[in-house]
Amino acid sequence: MNAPLHSTPTTSRPADNAAQDSTAVNGSAAADKPGLTLLIAAPRGFCAGVDRAIEIVERALDRYGAPVYVRHEIVHNRFVVDGLKAKGAIFVEELDEVPDGAPVVFSAHGVPKSVPAEAQRRGLDYLDATCPLVSKVHRQAERQIEANRHILFIGHRGHPEVIGTMGQVQPGEMTLVETVADVARLDFPPEKALSFLTQTTLSVDDTAKIVSALKTKFPNIVAPKAEDICYATSNRQAAVKEIAPASDLVLVIGSPNSSNSLRLVEVAQRCGTTARLIQRADEIEQSWLNGVGTLGLTAGASAPEKLVREVVDLLSQWRTVEEHTLVSAVEKMVFKLPRQLTE
């Protein structure tokens, strides 16, 4: 649901989690620090799919007790993964690392069909934390194959979501397309029935260019009924477009293997603003603020709000920070948990 763009100014003090505190910073210490206007993007951070995936692991630990195995990082954020490890989750890359009889959770990015099939063969008790919006793409892939259409899948090679989606169909039934240049190299006959789908965490602008190229080259290609790029990805990129033009520097909190976080950095850079990806506040160097009067701040969909507040607290040690939260959309999406955890 879209909301009018507005900003909420606050003045920050370190270590008091003062997101809504409008009390002025007084005293000589504050007076000695230069000012910094902080533009915080909203929406930012956790999306409904990430919330659901983390809750699935936590509830599994409550139900089964530790250890609970998780195939691949549940979401791409080291802070989140380490927190779940501390509670008893064990992260593995393949099912053959899971002992017989142990519960296992599949990550939010989705898995090939062969993974739950193998879990069933072994009699493992498994929970699927695949984001429902990724599962929707999986179902679309199945329908396109049933309609005898070859699928052109727009995504990033090697990303877990791409591996999982391509694993929904037989080899040779889906072709990966990463760039407009890839479209130019496609060589399908005019009579070939084609469709396209996309990874959910791509750049909205880049994907639009690839889709345009596909439709130009293959006028009869079948598009998905609805946008595959998820609402959270689109909303966070739109929010960065609001803060980046007014910022001297944009910081994006996220992991280097987080597709949606990397896209946020790219969006800011394309607005002509210097942008950096950080995982935690302790990666920020004070020298980055040289010549910076206005700083933009956001977080990828796998980064918790706690990490945003860490950054604000650190900046407040160096500068007198005035926060402005720029709200470009309001998110109310909630996804249901697997039935095994609610019955």
Active-site residues, by number, are 161
Strand order in the sheet with 150-154: 174-177, 150-154, 194-198
Q: How far is CA 343 from its chain centroid?
A: 29
Helix (H, G, I), strand (E, B) or coil at 280: coil
Q: Residue 107: what residue type? A: S
Q: Exposure pattern of 277-292 as b/e (b: 16+ CB <10 Å)?
A: bbbebeebeeeebeee
CA 303, 309, 315, 317 torsion-angle sign: negative
CA 131 – CA 75 distance, rounded (Å)? 10
Q: Exposure pattern of 164-183 as b/e (b: 16+ CB <10 Å)?
A: bbbbbbeeeebebbbeeebb
Angle between helix 78-87 and 48-64 (nearest 10):
10
